[in-house]
Structure 1
Amino acid sequence: MVCTGKRPLSRPRFILLTAKLYWLLSIVQKAHGQENTHSIRIEGDVILGGLFPVHSRGDKGVPCGDLKKEKGIHRLEAMLYAIDQINKDPDLLSNITLGVRILDTCSRDTYALEQSLTFVQALIEKDGSDVRCANGDPPIFTKPDKISGVIGAASSSVSIMVANILRLFKIPQISYASTAPELSDNSRYDFFSRVVPPDSYQAQAMVDIVTALGWNFVSTLASEGNYGESGVEAFTQISREIGGVCIAQSLKIPREPKPGAFDNIIKRLLEPPSARAIIIFANEDDIRRVLEAARKHNQTGHFLWIGSDSWGSKIAPVYQQEDIAEGAVTILPKRASIDGFDRFFRSRTLANNRRNVWFAEFWEENFGCKLGSHGKRNSNVKKCTGLERIGRDSNFEQEGKVQFVIDAVYSMAYALNNMHKELCSGYAGLCSKMSTIDGKELLSYIRAVNFNGSAGTPVTFNENGDAPGRYDIYQYQMNNNTAEYKVIGHWINKLHLKMYIQTTTLTVSMSLSASVSLGMLYMPKVYIIIFHPEQNVQKRKRSFKAVVTAATMQSKLIQKGNDRPNGEVKTELCESLETNTSSTKTTYVSYSNHAN
């Protein structure tokens, strides 16, 4: 063995490396044999990979479950939409066509790892030019795509699993939804970037919400895995550093919950009766099942949920759970609905969208019909006509991460464009210096991008590949039997909550030694009374002047006066007012003032 300029590998290390490569190759070949039914492939000069949870996690050894219409189809169509827009733009990657290779992760990290090995196939498969068939002819095989960068994944656990492989082959990765703080470790995930902020910012925002509302006794609930556990860990650490917030208990939802697991979680959350605020970092399926269990135990109105961005403004977790979720405060990275994508997606039909191998399945699911004898739905279901239209014959609302998928694709495109300007100045198309794109060099261009994204907000990355923290604060409200999420504030480095207050003054006479207690009820008008002793009155007969603050709300005050000693009443308050006036309000509505 001849080695130039490098120390030769010791025999044990060489054997181990060879074994690992053979193992990778065996899995790649398995995935490669399934590519026709499990991937979208579009040719181009530069190929970008895509990882999306098109299906949910399967049961009982089956890798893939039900189709995910929004988190799967909407998001992957957003990537295709962005690719189309870039390829039509004469000023961006002129004479260079972007292609794609999109894979389904099936919401499972191990399956995603197996699928994503397709992205490194071109780098680890041996040249087959010396292979001959029995008759002496060369074999016919599909040349694997050279993937220059990867868009995805969605969940943090999947991104972590995939990032560990992609970094070995120096393939840059940009996620549109993974927010685990662990991914900010640039020493371990050096080829990973994301257009969403990490949960460390989100945790800070949630601590600020809890502090602003005056809660000092909360419980936390996390889905098992990087996203949930890291989010709660960040919340706990920040609250400990700031002080004033006590964690009653921290519970974890198992990755594979056993029967009765969610009932037990609700029972445990009820154990500290005054810790009604629940900080929840969980996936949407777990959130839904927690709410179902709370309703089953007749706890409507008891808990006040503070949900992370995995809850955000999604309908699925609260569907048919509106009463138990009412009043929940949730957080979501600032975003906007992209009108161009709405027009694009509404125009998709079976005839014009054959490139999406999962679109027929989406069509059946979306319109509740069956496509011929090979459709996946029950034979008793009506047949699809093909004339159905998205938005006309079915409800359509753009999924919340569509903007970030588009921004991730454009980040890759702008990086490639800037790289082309420097390496291939004045050359139309790919020059020899970019015929094989160096991943480490491309990464440096990714980290340097600065452009206005699809929603008009700047897209940038810090030295760890993280996006800046910008969040909207929502509350889930019921108005005239209609439930909706309303923006009640935002967080950009600090919290801004919206409320409207009016004050009037009245006089109440009482002894200074009396203990004042005020009970709060669930009502549209909430009166917060702060007592001040009047001046120029004899000490023992001094009256109180009460400033009555009437705040128009559609929310709950859930903590009753008898929960606290000495007449102190602490309200657990969900602000839900929309106005241009901002104010800070104490949540202590009365206090004891004993004369000596």
Structure 2
Amino acid sequence: MYIIGVVPIHTKGSTPLKCGEIKKGGLDIAETIRFAVKEAKSKPEANIGIVIIDSCNDPQIIQEKILTLHRFGVYVKDRYIPIGDKILGYIGGWSSDVSKAVADIISRLEYPQISYASTAPILSDRSIYPYFLRTPIPDGKQAETILKIVERLQGNFIQIVHSEGAYGEGGRDLLLDYIRNGKFDMCVSQTISFKTDTNGTDVLSKLRKFSKAHIVVLFLGSFDVVQLFKTFNMIDRNEFLFISSEGWGTRFDVELYRKLNGCITVTSQLNVNEKLKDHFASLKPDRSNINQWIRPYMEKEFDCYFEWSYDKRSRKKCKENVSLNVFTTDFRLDAWSPFVERGVIALLSSAETTLREKCDGNTTELCDAYKASPEYVSSENKLKILQITHGTHL
């Protein structure tokens, strides 16, 4: 039986249907899925395989790959091996646009899906996505918390910068609805949409047109936040106060931009399993490793190259003992990794319960009754997720 993981190992490419560079955090998610399946005590008494699909954070690319998977199977040694009738469910994706693209297909195919990072409100509509679940808190709570912070700071005049797409536009709409409904007494001078090819200096120029709206609320995806960091670091100190959703969250690369000190971010947080840290420390970038992305990921993380690597753009050679050890290096696990682990545990726990009840106690293969019961798996999952992630806070 298989779990399908949808992970942005690479970023979105600069041309259609092409992947970009290795994405920071992508390998963290892929390896957490592998770790969680191996460690989950509640998994069925069967062999659980993993298929990781690189989404490249592109809705069109992931849909193409999912359709290929279900039409033909997994390509191994010059042939396709069908696995459609052996899939327990999907874990992913990261961005809300990708999760929505996945849900658009697998809701029709009737597979359960658990996202580890997508918080857009549209995905909560069970009439459209009946088998979609997630481990992080949806954006409604985030939006309300952000406006409470603005209120606490006695802010009554704000600007909103948001990503184009389900996440950013959904967050913007939530903020505006709270204000229009009178729950918060404040005015919005303007909303600014940001997409991949938007010039960051143009955003800054628009913000300066309403300089008295000192507080700027950001509902930007993590990919867009990175693009705007440098631009935002051009502002005069205290020119604007940014209050951001979890797209900025606990990103560590913001430490490079000193003029952003004092900004406020909201994020969900879960504790990291210590065994997961040990798992990453044990990963080696040799040719025999099961994960083909470890070498390029480590080269990017530590700005070095391995002797056997074709890509030697870096000027320094990687140390022989270099590792993804959170205790001895500057490597830090992506903040979404604990949410990934909880999602896998929830799916496997729910699958085991469903197999026992629908397949006469047999947990070694998917019977027809299991395949015909995605709503039952999803219902069980919902309960498990609530139990596992209890204590998540903003």
Same fold, TM-score > 0.5, yes or no: yes
SS in 2 for 1:332: coil
SS in 2 for 1:189: coil
- Give, as a single letter, the amino acid of the residue that structure 2 aligns with 1:105: S
Report the counterpart of residue 2 of structure 2 in structure 1.
Answer: 47
Correspondent of 2:47 among 86, 94, 97: 97
User: CA, structure 1 residues 353+239, in 2 after alignment: closer, same or farther (shift >3 Å)?
Assistant: farther
Is the 1:266–1:290 Cα contact (8 Å) retained in structure 2? no
Report the counterpart of residue 113 of structure 1 in structure 2.
Answer: 63
Q: Is 2:277 aligned against 1:339?
A: no
What displacement does 1:161 show?
Answer: 1.1
Report the counterpart of residue 265 of structure 1 in structure 2.
Answer: 203
Report the counterpart of residue 322 of structure 2 in structure 1.
Answer: 388
Report the counterpart of residue 299 of structure 2 in structure 1.
Answer: 364
Q: Is 2:116 aligned against 1:179?
A: no
SS in 2 for 1:418: helix
Q: Within 5 Å, which residues of 2 pair with 1:108-257?
A: 108-121=58-71, 141-146=79-84, 147-241=87-181, 242-257=183-198
Structure 1 alignment gaps of length 5 or more:
1-45, 124-139, 460-469, 473-596
What displacement does 1:387 show?
Answer: 3.1
Report the counterpart of residue 384 of structure 2 in structure 1.
Answer: 449
CA distance in 2, matches of 1:450, 1:431: 22
Instruction: Tell me which moved more, 301-310 or 334-343.
Output: 334-343
Q: Within 5 Å, which residues of 2 pair with 1:456-475?
A: 457-458=389-390, 470-472=392-394
Q: Is 2:379 aligned against 1:439?
A: no
What displacement does 1:273 show?
Answer: 2.5
Is the 2:121–2:170 Cα contact (8 Å) retained in structure 1? yes
Structure 1 residues 112-155: Cα deviation after superposition (integer angstroms, max 9, x where no partner): 111222442259xxxxxxxxxxxxxxxx8432222231100000
User: CA, structure 1 residues 273+444, in 2 after alignment: closer, same or farther (shift >3 Å)?
Assistant: closer
- Give, as a single letter, the amino acid of the residue that structure 2 aligns with 1:211: E
SS in 2 for 1:77: helix
User: CA, structure 1 residues 165+335, in 2 after alignment: closer, same or farther (shift >3 Å)?
Assistant: same
CA distance in 2, matches of 1:305, 1:431: 49
What displacement does 1:382 show?
Answer: 3.8
CA distance in 2, matches of 1:373, 1:348: 17
What displacement does 1:220 show?
Answer: 0.5
- Give, as a single letter, the amino acid of the residue that structure 1 aligns with 2:332: E
What displacement does 1:172 show?
Answer: 1.2
What displacement does 1:358 show?
Answer: 0.8
Structure 1 residues 283-311: Cα deviation after superposition (integer angstroms, max 9, x where no partner): 23433443422443x42211000010111
Q: Larger radius of gyration, structure 1 or 2?
A: 1
Is the 1:367–1:394 Cα contact (8 Å) retained in structure 2? no
SS in 2 for 1:275: coil
Structure 1 residues 518-554: Cα deviation after superposition (integer angstroms, max 9, x where no partner): xxxxxxxxxxxxxxxxxxxxxxxxxxxxxxxxxxxxx
CA distance in 2, matches of 1:428, 1:114: 31
Is the 1:248–1:275 Cα contact (8 Å) retained in structure 2? yes
Correspondent of 1:276 among 214, 225, 238: 214
The percent of aligned pairs where both chains have the same amino acid is 25
Q: Is 2:235 aligned against 1:313?
A: no
CA distance in 2, matches of 1:152, 1:426: 28
CA distance in 1, matches of 2:282, 2:50: 21
SS in 1 for 2:211: coil
Report the counterpart of residue 462 of structure 1 in structure 2.
Answer: none
CA distance in 1, matches of 2:351, 2:338: 20
Is the 1:120–1:169 Cα contact (8 Å) retained in structure 2? no
Structure 1 residues 173-204: Cα deviation after superposition (integer angstroms, max 9, x where no partner): 11000000011111111121111111111111
Structure 1 residues 383-418: Cα deviation after superposition (integer angstroms, max 9, x where no partner): 446432333774121210011000110111011111
Is the 1:232–1:281 Cα contact (8 Å) retained in structure 2? yes
SS in 1 for 2:247: coil
CA distance in 2, matches of 1:423, 1:381: 58
CA distance in 1, matches of 2:179, 2:295: 48
Instruction: Tell me which moved more, 334-343 or 200-209.
Output: 334-343
CA distance in 2, matches of 1:240, 1:150: 37
Is the 1:75–1:401 Cα contact (8 Å) retained in structure 2? yes
Is the 1:364–1:377 Cα contact (8 Å) retained in structure 2? no
Is the 2:37–2:43 Cα contact (8 Å) retained in structure 1? no
1 or 2 for the larger relative contact order (CA 8 Å, sep ≥6)?
A: 2
CA distance in 1, matches of 2:371, 2:81: 15
Structure 1 residues 45-100: Cα deviation after superposition (integer angstroms, max 9, x where no partner): x1010111111111234611111232x011111101101102xx3xx235212111
What displacement does 1:232 show?
Answer: 1.1
- Give, as a single letter, the amino acid of the residue that structure 2 aligns with 1:313: T
- Give, as a single letter, the amino acid of the residue that structure 2 aligns with 1:390: L
SS in 2 for 1:75: helix
CA distance in 2, matches of 1:201, 1:228: 15
Q: Give the structure with the larger helix fraction.
A: 2
TM-score (structure 1 length as normaliser): 0.61
User: CA, structure 1 residues 427+250, in 2 after alignment: closer, same or farther (shift >3 Å)?
Assistant: closer
Structure 1 residues 502-523: Cα deviation after superposition (integer angstroms, max 9, x where no partner): xxxxxxxxxxxxxxxxxxxxxx
CA distance in 1, matches of 2:4, 2:219: 28
What displacement does 1:215 show?
Answer: 0.9
User: CA, structure 1 residues 230+305, in 2 after alignment: closer, same or farther (shift >3 Å)?
Assistant: same
- Give, as a single letter, the amino acid of the residue that structure 2 aligns with 1:78: T
Aligned-pair RMSD on alpha carbons?
A: 2.5
SS in 1 for 2:384: coil
- Give, as a single letter, the amino acid of the residue that structure 2 aligns with 1:219: Q
User: CA, structure 1 residues 426+352, in 2 after alignment: closer, same or farther (shift >3 Å)?
Assistant: farther
SS in 2 for 1:471: coil
